[in-house]
Every structure is written in C-alpha cells, then in structure tokens.
C-alpha cells in the first residue's frame, strides 16, 4: 500500500518518515494507528474478563488482606480516650482526664451499640477485656464524676496499668497484632514483642505441617500417577479411553462424596479393616487406626488430587513420539536406560505442571482434612476457616491467609526460577 | 391433613390467579436453624401451623446456625441482611447483642403471655436483651451398650476417664466448652464450683491436664450427627452429644444407646433477629412460635425441654412413637439432679483464649 516515494538519504529513519500511504499520511503514523486499533480490539475482547477478575477476585483479596491490619474499632468507639492517652507517659495509671474520656466514650458507645465491637477486639488481645468493658457499659448511666473513682468502683481492673497500656497500644487505625499472632508472637504487658506462651503456639507448626504434607501428597501423586499416565498415553485408543473414564469418573464425583467414602473404607470398623481381619492379617483387637489422623488426610487427598497429576502428564506424554525411544534402543541403550535418559526428561513439563497444580491445591485444602484429618491431619486452611466461621476473629484469619498467599507466590517464583514457568504444560 | 388441604388450596388458587401473581403476593420469611431433626421439629411445631394461619406467608428454612453469628455479622456489615430470624445459642446471642448486629427484643411487648396471664418476663427461663429462649438442651455422655458386653455400664462423669473399667474410644466435641468443665468434675471438683476453679490459671491447667489423659483415645467431632453415628459404628464406646440426637437414635432408630444424665451440660437455645429485620411480620411470628402451647408442641418431635415454665406441664407424647416424652427431657427432675449450667458470660469472656489454647493443645 505504501507509495514508494523514496528519496536519496543516508538515514533509514528519515527515509521511513518520508514513506506515505496512498492518501498521503506518513506510513509510520498509519502503522501506529492500525496497531492501536488492534490493541484496542484485543483489550476490548479481554476487558470483560479483566473486569471480572478485578471485581470478583483482586478486590475481595485486597479487602480481606486489609482486614489483617485494620483496627478501626478502637479509635472509632473510644475516640476521646485515644486522644486523652496521646500525652500519657505510660508509667503510671492515667489521671482523671483519661477516665472522664473513657466514661463518656463508654456511655456513648452503649447508646449507639458500638462499644461491643471494641470490647471484642480488645478481648482478642487479653481475655477478660470483654466483660470489663461490657460490664462497665451496662452500668454506664450511673457514672458520675469523679470518674476515676466511679470506674474503679465498678471494676478495679480499671486501676490496672496493663489495661491502659493495652488500650494505648491498640489505639491506632492499624495494628500488627494479628500478624504477630499468626506467627506465634505477641506483645508483653510492657509492649515488647515476645513469643506466645508455649501452650498457645500453634500456627508456625501448622504452616510447616501444611508445607510438608502438601509436598508428600504431591510426591505420592506423582509416584502413582506417572505409570497410569504412561499407560494411558501408550495403550491403543480403545483401551485408553476406558482407562481415561476410570480416571475422570472420580474426578467428576463430588469431593464430599469421595471424602465420606474414604471414611467408610478406612474407619476401624470399616471395609478395609474388616477385610484384613477376615483374611487373618489383623486380629479383631488389632484393627488399624487409618482415619481421623494424618494417614487419613494423606490417603484421601492423594486420591482426590491424583487426576490433577495424571491429566497434565498424559497430555505431555501423548506428544512424545515413540520413535525417540526406538532410536535410543537402536543406538544400543537398554530399555531402562532409554526410559530414564530419553523418555523421562521429556515428561518434565508435565511433571512440573502436575506437581505445582497438586501442591498449590493441597496447600489450600480444608474440607477433606476437616472430615478425615482428626487432629494431627488438620492443615492451616482449617484454622483459617475456623477463625472465619467459629471464632469470628477475621483479622487473624486474614493475617494467616495473607501469609499463605505470599508463601504460595514465593514458591511459584522459586519454581519459575528453577524449572521455568514456560517449561510447564497444562494440557 | 389440614395442612394438605391448605397447600392444595394455596396451590390451586395460585394456579387460578396465574403462577406469577401467586408468587408475588407470598411473603417469604427466612428462618435459620440447625438442620436435621431439630429443624424438622420447628417445621412441624411452629412453621406449618403458622403458614396454615397465614397462607400468604412462606417460611424458608436455612440450616446455617452452626455459623449463625458469622453469617449475621457478615450480612450486617455488608448491609444486605437476608435472614429474618436466626436460631442461636445464648452465648453467641449475647455477643451479637453487644456488637449491635441483632435487634433488642422487648419481650413483654412482643411475646404472648402464659395462659394464666403471667407475663413473658416471668414465664421464660432466661430472657436476654436480644434473645428469646425456646428450648433447654443438654450435651451429655451416652454409650453403646454393646460396647460393654459384661453389663457393667458407666454412670458418672469420672467413669468416662476410667479407661480400664470402661474400654473403648471416646468421641468428644471439638470445642473447649463442656470438656473443660467435665474434666474438672472428673478430677473431683463439685459441679457448682466448676467455674470458680476455671477462673484461675491453675484451674485451667488442671482441666487440660485431666483432658490429657483422654487425648490418645479421643475422636473429636464437629457436627451433631457424628456422635450417634460413631457410637452406632462402634468407633467409640462413649460419646458426648446433644440429648435430642441421642434420643432420636435410641428411640426412633432402635440403637442400643443409653444416656448418662449425670453431669448433663445444659444451655439455652432460641431466637435472635438480625439488625433491621424486626418487622411486624417477624414480631407476629415470634409471638406465635414462642407461646406456651407451641413450645410444648415442639417436644412432640424432639426431646428438648421447653424454655417456658408454663409449657412444662403440657409436654405429652411423641408424635410418631407415641411414647411419653417427659422422661427424655433434660429438665425432668430425675434427669436434672446433677446438671452443669453453661456459664455463657464466662465463655463470652474467655472463649477466644480457651479456644486458641485448646486448638494448640489438640494440634500438638
């Protein structure tokens, strides 16, 4: 289309500038315009998905993550107290001014029913704060100056220096308490960061347990899935399709059904134990405890996640030409050597894809461990769910969840570094 | 029978008016409860008679009470409350009330007097600012008789800890509530001093030390349907569970279970109304569903005691089995000899700290 209006010039760029299309616009501008239109069309096509991801995925994640540091309950419910404590030295119980501010805040909070959320918030930090505040709030209409005496008369804990230090420490709009709690740390009475008492340390151990159990499950899935995928890829289509259905059928079955089936199979009075007793392998008293512990979680999750390993492996193996193996053999390699040095390296993209799929899914699992994991088989997600649904400590749930999210992103980055993400084939 | 007629009538009139018109005129009440036999008893005793009296109202059950407090909090914070009435335990109801996410319920204004004119504030077992109790239920130990073939059955809380005399695993609820109290009782603390002891650090340590003895033989359940199942499968020989669930298994399903009323741990369950939902319709429903006769009626379908004094004498026989329900009520005097009343306030204060410690103890 470009009109060849070439004038002599030593410089390529200026020559391109001089090129024009039939209607006289410079070629460069015309190309740019066409490119821009293509980009707009491409963006327009992808826009619905982008908006969808933004509003239904990124925004909620951000919203949830922001809860892990949010602390609006206290400055909102106790604004006067927070202001009064700004000039406090923290060395001795504050004076009448702070008590007056607190009394007014509690009175107003009781009327507007906002004080309960602050009480709940402080109770996460120190058990007993809820009854201290709510008990005071119930009697707040009788509060009269001098407030210091009146409050201490209602509950002498108001004369406790540590209570005031706690309120002062948690008086900002943002807090680090949830993150500290999520890694088994806490503030001491004087405000230093210290380890939780040993009987409350739990989350670090759970993070480690989740990682190693997910790694183990990934390894087991690879061990069990590899031969099946190989079989699927090499059998004639007629048999392979049948086998494929055997892989897909459980994949399509509800997660809950498969999990509860494992309960029937594995429990002490279950199918497997009954069979072993009947065969005389076990005595009736020596039945094995295979469920409601780590074994249960590992067995059930490996089975449930197996298709996520088999399918990517299969798709990669399907693309490996059998002629490579024949060539290796014709050059003198014995079958195991040919398999190990020619076939296996070609399946690495499949192993990588299956491995990272299974591993990341396993890290986030919670229904299966909740049902068959007993205590020792619980994963970190079970505690996120617990804090979301039962204890209602959403800040702590958000902090644990955010740590988990960044952990997964880090692992992903590490994986990309070592294996290379473009080396992965998902199907 | 009456109901069928009413349904038929409603259905045919809806057809006559055209389905859309019929659907538009029906008012929907979403009532959240615990599911299973419990929701069924509410359906039969409250919802169906109410819908019969008010054909324009349609009551929808949602079995979400296990996460009731989380649900209400999320809905109120999001400004989109879809639940009208929620069945909740006393403790969470108090928390919800303090957080301002449920409506205060002025009982004497909304609720019906007893037949003899006693006002609700005197007739109910325990009214709270935002909470109307409807039943008293107990968590207690039950055992499978087949697990003790020599006929030597456990009868008191300390027997649960006696693994030599009463072998077999124990199913316990995966919460500190109840377990800590029982542990102290098994350790020799009198029932009425349990909370005094628990109020000290040594007391809490003592409870956990006693629970340690059971830890290796415990299976922890989370759903009310699990303990009867675990007992029936003989996965465990003794289980804690809700007395209504055990009653169902024992009487309706003929399981060889026996309930151990010694140390029954009872608490109240009833209604709360999420913020902004206290409409005239909801008030009318609450007035109907918590009147003396209705609470007594519920005992025809499930073995939970009515939370109104005036209802107790009206408790009669089971609707299907035809057996006398009084011996199966937690509030019947023979069963009520050694109860532990759950201290909802103690748990509201210490629940978070105890749960964290309990979870850490379990996970170790």
Tell me the pLDDT of chain B averaged across its residues: 89
CA pseudo-torsion sign A326, A330, A335, A338? negative
B353: contact with A, CB 8 A cutoff: yes
Which residues does A311 contact at the CB level (< 8 Å), separation at least 6? Answer: A247, A354, A427
Cβ-Cβ contacts under 8 Å, B345 against chain A: 131
Q: Which of A229, A202, A207, A158 is nearest to A391 (CA)?
A: A202
- Maximum alpha-carbon separation in chain A: 100
Q: A114–B100: do the CB atoms touch at under 8 Å? A: yes
* CA-based nearest residue in chain A for residue B275: A113
Q: Calculate mean pLDDT across residues B86-95.
A: 92
CB contact under 8 A, A116 and B95: yes
* Mutation site for B-interface testing, chosen from A268, A277, A377, A398 by largest number of B Cβ within 10 Å: A268
CA distance A132 to A119: 8
pLDDT digits (tens, 9 = 90+) for B159-201: 999 999 999 999 999 999 999 999 999 999 999 999 999 999 8
**Cis before A146 (ω within 30):** yes
DSSP single-letter state for residue A78: -
Q: Which of B69, B234, B352 sits opposite A127 (nearest CB)?
A: B352
Instruction: Tell me if A392 and B235 make a contact (CB, 8 A cut-off).
Output: no
List residues bridging with A193 in a β-sheet: A187
pLDDT at A416: 83
* Other Cβ atoms closer than 10 A to B202: 8
Q: Which residues of A touch B (CB under 8 A)?
A: 112-117, 119-120, 123-124, 127-128, 130-131, 134, 199-202, 205-206, 267-269, 292, 370, 374-376, 378, 383, 386, 388-393
Residues of B in contact with A391 (CB under 8 A): 351-352, 355-356
Provide CB contacts within 8 A for A248, sequence distance 6+: A307
The pair of three-digit structure tokens given for residue B128, joined into one six-digit string: 């709270």
pLDDT in tens, B242-259: 998 899 899 888 999 999
- Better-scored residue on pLDDT, A9 or B328: B328
CA–CA distance, B239 with B248 (Å, rounded to integer): 15
Residue of B356, B357, B358 for testing the chain A interface, max A β-carbons within 10 Å: B356
The per-residue pLDDT for B191 is 92
Determine the pLDDT at residue A411: 86
Residues of B in contact with A115 (CB under 8 A): 98
What pLDDT does residue B13 have? 46
CB-based contact A200 B350, cutoff 8 Å:
no
β-pairing, B257-272 with A193-195? unpaired
- Across the interface, do A370 and B348 touch by the CB < 8 Å criterion? no
Helix (H) or strand (E) holding B144: strand B132-144
pLDDT tens across B29-87, in order? 999 999 888 899 999 999 999 999 999 999 999 999 988 999 999 999 889 999 999 99
Task: Estimate to the nearest angstrom the gap between the alpha carbon of B157 and the chain centroid.
Answer: 21
* Per-residue pLDDT, B35: 86
B353 Cα to chain A: minimum distance (Å): 6
- Structural contact between residues A168 and A74, judged by C-beta atoms closer than 8 angstroms: no
The two structure tokens encoding residue B45: 């005793």
Q: Does B99 touch chain A (CB under 8 A)?
A: yes
- Whether B234 and chain A come into contact, CB under 8 Å, resolves to yes
Model confidence over B298-310: pLDDT tens digits? 999 989 999 998 9
Q: Which residues of B touch A201 (CB under 8 A)?
A: 360
CB contact under 8 A, A391 and B348: no
* Beta-bridge partners for B60: B30
Q: Best mutation site among B65, B360, B362 for testing chain A: the one with the most A CBs within 10 Å?
A: B360
Q: Do B350 and A116 touch (CB under 8 A)?
A: no
Q: Dmax of chain B from CA atoms? A: 71
Q: Which of B206, B221, B204 is nearest to B142 (CA)?
A: B221
Distance to chain A for B333, nearest Cα, Å? 33
Q: Which pLDDT score, from 0 to 100, does residue B21 have?
A: 41
| 47-66 of B, contacting A, C-beta below 8 A | 66
pLDDT < 70 regions, chain A: 1-17, 421, 423-427
Partner A contacted by B70 (CB < 8 A): yes
Which residue in A200, A370, A388 is closest to B356 by CB distance? Answer: A200
Distance from CA of B236 to the nearest CA of A (A): 10
pLDDT above 70: residue B7: no
Contact B356 A374 (CB under 8 A): no
Angstroms from A187 CA to nearest CA on chain B: 15
Q: In the prediction, which pLDDT does A423 show?
A: 65
pLDDT at residue B14, rounded to an integer: 44
B213 to chain A, any CB pair closer than 8 A? The answer is no
Query: Which of A120, A130, A177, A270 to substitute to test the interface with B, most B CBs within 10 Å?
Result: A130
Alpha helix positions (H), A54-202 = 59-66, 73-77, 79-84, 96-112, 115-125, 129-138, 147-154, 161-169, 177-182
Residue B214 — pLDDT band, cuts 50, 70, 90?
Answer: very high
- ipTM field: 0.74
Q: Does residue B221 sit in helix, strand or coil?
A: strand
Q: Using a CB-CB distance cutoff of 8 angstroms, which residues of chain A are in contact with residue B360?
A: 199-202
Of B98, B353, B357, the CB nearest to A116: B98
* Residue in A closest to B68 by C-alpha: A389
pLDDT value at residue A13: 54
Return the CA Rg of chain B: 22
B15 touches chain A (CB under 8 A): no
Enumerate the residues of chain B whose CB falls inside 8 A of the CB of residue A111: none
Q: How far is A115 from chain B (nearest CA, A)?
A: 7
């Amino acid at each position: 289309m470009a009109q060849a209006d070439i004038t002599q010039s030593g410089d390529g760029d200026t020559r391109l500038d001089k090129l024009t299309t039939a209607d006289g616009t410079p070629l460069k501008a015309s190309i740019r315009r066409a490119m821009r239109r293509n980009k707009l069309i491409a963006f327009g096509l992808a826009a619905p998905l982008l908006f969808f991801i933004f509003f239904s995925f990124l925004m909620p994640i951000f919203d949830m993550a922001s809860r892990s540091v949010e602390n609006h309950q206290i400055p909102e419910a106790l604004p006067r107290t927070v202001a009064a404590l700004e000039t406090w030295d923290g060395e001795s119980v504050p004076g009448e001014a702070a008590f007056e501010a607190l009394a007014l805040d509690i009175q107003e909070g009781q009327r507007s029913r906002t004080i309960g959320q602050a009480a709940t918030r402080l109770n996460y930090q120190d058990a007993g704060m809820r009854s201290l505040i709510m008990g005071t709030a119930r009697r707040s209409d009788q509060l009269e100056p001098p407030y210091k005496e009146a409050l201490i008369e209602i509950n002498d804990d108001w004369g406790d220096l540590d209570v005031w230090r706690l309120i002062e420490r948690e008086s900002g709009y943002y807090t680090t308490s949830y993150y500290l709690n999520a890694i088994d740390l806490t503030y001491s009475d004087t405000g230093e960061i210290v380890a939780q008492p040993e009987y409350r340390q739990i989350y670090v151990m759970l993070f480690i347990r989740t990682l190693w159990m997910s790694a183990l499950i990934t390894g087991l899935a690879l061990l069990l899935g590899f031969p099946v995928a190989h079989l699927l890829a090499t059998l004639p289509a007629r048999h392979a399709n049948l086998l494929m259905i055997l892989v897909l059928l459980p994949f399509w079955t509800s997660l809950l059904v498969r999990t509860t089936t494992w309960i029937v199979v594995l429990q002490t009075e279950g199918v497997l134990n009954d069979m072993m007793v009947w065969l005389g392998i076990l005595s009736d008293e020596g039945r094995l405890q295979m469920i409601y512990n780590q074994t249960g979680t590992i067995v059930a999750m490996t089975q449930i996640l197996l298709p996520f390993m088999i399918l990517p492996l299969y798709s990669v193996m399907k693309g490996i030409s059998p002629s490579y193996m024949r060539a290796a053999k014709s050059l003198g390699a014995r079958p195991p050597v040919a398999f190990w040095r020619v076939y296996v390296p070609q399946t690495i993209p499949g192993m990588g894809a299956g491995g990272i799929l299974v591993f990341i899914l396993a890290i986030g699992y919670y229904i299966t461990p909740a049902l068959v994991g007993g205590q020792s088989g619980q994963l970190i997600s079970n505690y996120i769910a617990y804090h979301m649904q039962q204890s209602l400590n959403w800040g702590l749930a958000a902090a644990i969840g955010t740590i988990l999210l960044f952990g997964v992103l880090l692992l992903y980055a590490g994986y990309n570094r070592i294996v290379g993400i473009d080396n992965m084939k998902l199907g | 029978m009456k109901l069928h007629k009413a349904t038929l009538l409603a259905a045919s009139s809806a057809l006559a008016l055209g389905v859309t018109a019929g659907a538009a005129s029906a008012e929907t009440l979403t009532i959240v409860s615990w599911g299973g036999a419990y929701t069924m008893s509410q359906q039969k005793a409250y919802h169906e008679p109410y819908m019969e009296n008010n054909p324009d109202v349609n009551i929808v059950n949602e079995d979400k009470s296990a996460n009731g407090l989380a649900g209400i909090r999320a809905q109120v914070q999001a400004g989109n409350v879809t639940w009208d009435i929620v069945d909740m335990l006393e403790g969470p109801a108090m928390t919800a009330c303090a957080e301002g996410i449920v409506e205060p319920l002025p009982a004497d204004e909304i609720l019906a007097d007893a037949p003899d004119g006693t006002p609700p504030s005197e007739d109910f077992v325990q009214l709270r600012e935002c909470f109307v109790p409807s039943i008293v239920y107990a968590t207690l130990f039950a055992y499978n008789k087949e697990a003790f073939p020599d006929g030597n059955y456990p009868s008191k809380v300390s027997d649960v800890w006696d693994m030599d005399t009463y072998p077999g695993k124990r199913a316990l609820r995966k919460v500190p509530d109840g377990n800590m109290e029982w542990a102290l009782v098994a350790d020799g603390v009198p029932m009425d001093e349990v909370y005094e002891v628990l109020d000290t650090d040594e007391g809490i340590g003592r409870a956990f030390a006693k629970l340690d003895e059971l830890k290796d033989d415990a299976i922890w359940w989370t759903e009310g349907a699990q303990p009867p199942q675990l007992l029936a499968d003989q996965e465990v020989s003794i289980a804690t569970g809700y007395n209504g669930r055990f009653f169902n298994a024992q009487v309706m399903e003929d399981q060889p279970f026996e309930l151990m009323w010694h140390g029954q741990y009872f608490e109240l369950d009833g209604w709360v109304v999420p913020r902004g939902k206290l409409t005239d319709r909801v008030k009318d429903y609450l007035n109907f569903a918590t009147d003396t006769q209705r609470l007594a009626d519920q005992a025809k379908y499930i073995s939970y005691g009515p939370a109104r004094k005036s209802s107790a004498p009206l408790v009669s026989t089971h609707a299907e089995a035809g057996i006398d329900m009084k011996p199966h009520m937690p509030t019947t005097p023979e069963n009520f000899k050694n109860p532990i009343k759950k201290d909802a306030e103690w748990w509201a204060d210490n629940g978070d700290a105890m749960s964290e410690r309990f979870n850490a103890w379990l996970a170790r």
